[in-house]
Amino acid sequence: MGDFTLDLNDDQRSVRDWIHGFAADVMRPAAAEWDEREETPWPIIQEAAKIGLYSLDFYAQQFFDPTGLGIPMTMEELFWGDAGIALSIVGTGLAAVGVLANGTEEQIGTWVPQMYGDADDVKVAAFCSSEPDAGSDVGAMRTRAVYDEATGEWVLNGTKTWATNGGIANVHVVVAVVDPDLGTRGHASFIVPPGTPGLSQGQKFKKHGIRASHTAEVVLEDVRIPGDCLLGGKDKLDERLARVREREAAGGGGVGAPPAEGRGRVKNAAMATFEASRPAVGAMAVGTARAAYEYALEYATGREQFGRPIIDNQGVAFQLADMRTQIDAARLLVWRASWMATAGKPFSSAEGSMSKLFASETAKKVTAQAVQILGGNGYTREYPVERMHRDSAIYTIFEGTSEIQRLVIARTLSGVPIR
């Protein structure tokens, strides 16, 4: 019988314990302060950079973990510490994934290091896809990228919204329309280098949760970038667009139809990024859910009512049993999707979306149950489950709402372009 294990190896356990220590000793004591301030916690990011936790090398090591568990393990422990601070630490990763998913080796080597900076001068990066009228509906995207043949530059115009680190980033990765006649298949991703004229921060959002993470609009007004800032290169883009046009001319499905699975599938630039990141978002949700569950368990064991700990009551004990069961199930779905991605196995049943859907819904439910178990105390900011409950709401919204995940899963299972 072949070897099979769900145990982390010695190296993974060592890394997990190291991250857990940082989350417990550095992040948690600062969580309430930065939530109230609603500002990027630069000192905490700096501390993470000093020990190598916020660095390209660390995330590359975890990304290339042959088991696929390095990234979800990292995300779970950081978001166990605090979701807002953790998102400030890992938010750069979405932009990095955008480059890894769509860029050339030269582009990866040039731009990803500039997203992080170094321990003495930390930087952040932003991935800009959503727009005021194009969130889940990426086909409604209006930001345009036009190639200027005379100068060899791309010119970008439009407004992006809900961008983590938007406007304060050193490097922005922007998804834009290059051929509006091709719908979502006419999109491409671009690097906007540091200090490029025409890029500015618009509205900064005051949010319900993850308030230590900077979220803002990014305004692009005649932003000119070199031709080699198109991720993947112009030759590859022209080839891809020509292939799409040939399919359309041959009657290979309407522009609005979802692309067929399998060989030759033409991926949308934003979707390629989200497909790679969804299990990681699921791991974030698992971390927040686990933090709330552990706090509620400790509270229920020590809190007495009617002369005995409240955990002696089935109404509380059964809730905790369900919370733990759902957390473990969510983690297993995340681990499966992460392993499949690393092993090169296709998400033939939309396993990436499954992991994100179940884990995010679990986080909302578990944190709400934690507030209920703490009663009136859980509703106050004196206890962290109130913040965890607010933070958990984002998981069912960003990087594909729960409704979009269900749509992706249903389409994948049925082969029908359900709308």
CA distance 150 to 166: 30
Q: Are 286 and 292 in contact (CB under 8 A)?
A: no
CA distance 50 to 42: 12
Could you give the 3-state DSSP secondary structure of residue 137? coil
SS3 per-residue string spanning 248-294 = HHCCCCCCCCCCCCCCCCCCCHHHHHHHHHHHHHHHHHHHHHHHHHH
Token output for 170 = 């050193």
CA distance 125 to 91: 7
Token output for 300 = 């229920």
For the chain, the farthest-separated pair of C-alpha atoms sits apart, in whole angstroms, at: 82
Which member of 275, 351, 386, 399 is catalytic? 399
Which amino acid, residue 419?
R
| List of long-range contacts for 102-110, beta carbons under 8 Å, 24+ apart | 102/189, 102/231, 102/232, 102/269, 102/272, 102/273, 103/189, 103/231, 103/232, 104/231, 104/232, 104/233, 107/191, 107/228, 107/231, 107/232
CA distance 111 to 128: 16
- Which residues does 178 contact at the CB level (< 8 Å), separation at least 6? 144, 145, 146, 147, 186, 187, 188, 237, 241
Q: Is 399 a residue of the active site?
A: yes
End-to-end CA distance of the chain: 45
Query: Which of left, alpha, beta for 38 (phi over 0: left; psi -120 to 50: alpha)?
Result: left
Q: Which residues are catalytic?
A: 399
